[in-house]
Structure 1
Amino acid sequence: MKNAALITGATSGLGLAYANEYGKKGYNLIITGRREDKIRTNAVYIENTYHIKVKTVIVDLAYEEGLNILLNEIRDDEIEVLINNAGFGLKPVFTEVSKEDMNGIMFLQMNTVVILTQHILKQMMVRNRGTIINISSDGAFAVMPRNILYSSTKLFILNFTEGLYMELIDTAIQVQVVCPGFIDSDFHESAGMNVVKKKKGFMKFMDPEEIVNLAMRDLKKGRVVSVPGLDAKIIRFISVFLPRRMFYNIIINFTRKRNKKLNR
């Protein structure tokens, strides 16, 4: 497949929004996910709507076996855009996280991102063109209790992407990391989190399409770190400029209040 955009975790939410965005732009798509019925339904809709080709790869990228399946599936494809979006969260406190979940989240949100990026970047370097978009989170700026491994791996993605940008500064390859706040998707339900998505005010949920629209504007402007939405920008600001002790107190108090509301 030529002129292809590869999007991991395109079953719903941000990944699906990116699939529609790049389908609209005329790219052929390679989309991955674990829920076969849903992702195949998405593929049919996108093909019929934008008159492009869509290849689906049903795979779990939290395991080396799944990553190897994907690498084999794309060995003959000419990929112009890579969007590393696949991810998941963990609900328990750190001491209650299973070894399987620890290995899974670290492999998916670090190993898979690095290995897939290097694999595709090599062919982009030959052509001296391409776009790499890695999805991080506002959690990369502000780690929270019950969110330690997720935030830590998202911080890795942020640092990795900024470093990649500097290495590629003399090429025509675009690199961006997107750090959204809460997204209205299946993410929290999949992680077993009880959340209220219709609330207003600070830390509200944003539509995936809105986040993609803002991130694409930033990409056009050459902005390496895209922080879509005011709430995520506030999180980034306080994490940088507040004294750490004050920052810890704010996060701890916020987490305690949130947990009380969720446990009522």
Structure 2
Amino acid sequence: MKNVTLITGATSGLGLAYAKEYAKKGYNLIITGRREDKIKANAINIENMYNVKVKAVIVDLANAEGVNFLLNEIRDDEIEVLINNAGFGLKPLFSEVPQEDMERIIFLQINAVVILSQYILKQMLVRNRGTMINISSEGAFAVMPRNILYSSTKLFILNFTEGLYMELIDSAIRVQVVCPGFIDSDFHESAGMNVVKKKTGFMKFMDPDKIVQLAMRDLKKGRVVSLPGLDVKIIQIMQKFLPRNTLYKIIIDFTRKRNKKLHR
């Protein structure tokens, strides 16, 4: 296919919102996910709604075999937009995380992003056009207990994308990293987290479509780091200017209060 947007992790949430956004713009899609029924249903719905071609690739990108499978699937496609969105969280304390889960999250949110980005960047450079969007998190600015590996990999994605932007400054390829806060999706449920999805106040859950809308506005303005929502902007400012010990106390206090609410 030509004029393709590739989105990893498009089963629900932010990935699905991006799929609809780019289909609306007339792009054909390649969407990946592990839940076959869900991802295929998404493909059919988007094709019918926006009159574009959608290829669903059922794949687990948390290992080398999955990434190589996807690379083989897209070898004949002309990808104009890459959105690295696939990811998952881990509930346990770091000391309790199984080694297999540690290896999977690091591979998915670091190795897979790097390998896919380089593979697709090479064809973008030949055409001197394209867009690369990597999904990071507010966790890149403020790591939280029980979220260590997730936040650390998201910090890598932030730094990686900013570095790419600087390397590609003289090209016509656009690069952006999106750092959303809490997203109203099934992300937390999939990670075994029992959360109350409040829609008001600080650290509220945002609708995926709204996040994509804000991020696309930032992309149009040329903002490399997109912070969709006031909450994320506040967290970034706190991370920059507060003394580290003060920041630690705020995060620990927030985490303890949240855990008490969850166990009531």
Superposition TM-score, scaled by structure 1 size: 0.99
Q: Is the 8 A contact 2:199 2:206 kept in 1?
A: no
- Show the counterpart of 1:196: 196
Determine the structure 2 residue equivalent to 1:83: 83
Aligned to 1:159: 159
3-state SS in 2 of match to 1:71: helix
Whole-angstrom distance in 2 between the partners of 1:200 and 1:230: 12
**2:72 maps to amino acid:** N
Instruction: Give the % identical residues.
Output: 81
Amino acid in the other structure paired with 1:216? M
User: What is the identity, as a one-letter code, of the residue corresponding to 2:171?
Assistant: T
Per the normalisation by structure 2, the TM-score is 0.99
Partner of 2:48: 48
Q: Measure the CA separation in 2 of the matches of 1:63 and 1:263.
A: 34
Letter of the structure 2 residue corresponding to residue 168 of structure 1:
L
Matches within 5 A, 1:237-248: 237-248=237-248
- Offset of residue 227 of structure 1: 0.3
Root mean square deviation, CA, Å: 0.5
**How many residues are aligned here?**
264
Which residue of the partner structure matches residue 205 of structure 1? Answer: 205
- 1:89-100 equivalences under 5 Å are 89-100=89-100
Counterpart Cα distance in 1 of 2:186 and 2:87? 11
Return the alpha-carbon distance in structure 2 between the equivalents of residues 214 and 56 of structure 1.
26
Match of 1:177 in 2: 177
Distance 1:199 1:86 in 2: 24
Provide the residue aligned with 2:65 in structure 1.
Answer: 65
CA–CA distance in structure 2, aligned partners of residues 71 and 175 of structure 1:
21
Query: Shift in Å at residue 198 of structure 1?
Result: 3.4
User: How far off its partner does 1:263 sit?
Assistant: 1.2
Give 2:124's aligned residue.
124
Paired AA for residue 106 in structure 1: I
Q: Residue type of the partner of 1:238?
A: M
Please identify runs of 4+ aligned residues in structure 1 that moved more than 6 A: none
Structure 2 segments unaligned to the other structure (5+ residues): none
* 1-structure distance, mates of 2:109, 2:221: 26
| 1:236 aligned onto 2:241 | no
Which position in structure 1 is the counterpart of 2:23?
23
1:76-129: CA deviation from partner (whole Å, max 9, x where unpaired): 000000000000000000000000000000000000000000000000000000
1:10-68, Cα deviation, whole Å (9 max, x unpaired): 00000000000000000000000000001111100100111010001000100111111
Looking at structure 2, the residues matched to 250 and 38 of structure 1 have their Cα atoms a distance apart, in angstroms, of 39
Deviation at 1:200, TM superposition (A): 1.9
Note the residue ranges of structure 1 that are not aligned, 5 or more in a row. Answer: none
Secondary structure class of the residue paired with 2:119: helix
SS in 2 for 1:29: strand
Amino acid at match of 1:38: K
Partner of 1:149: 149
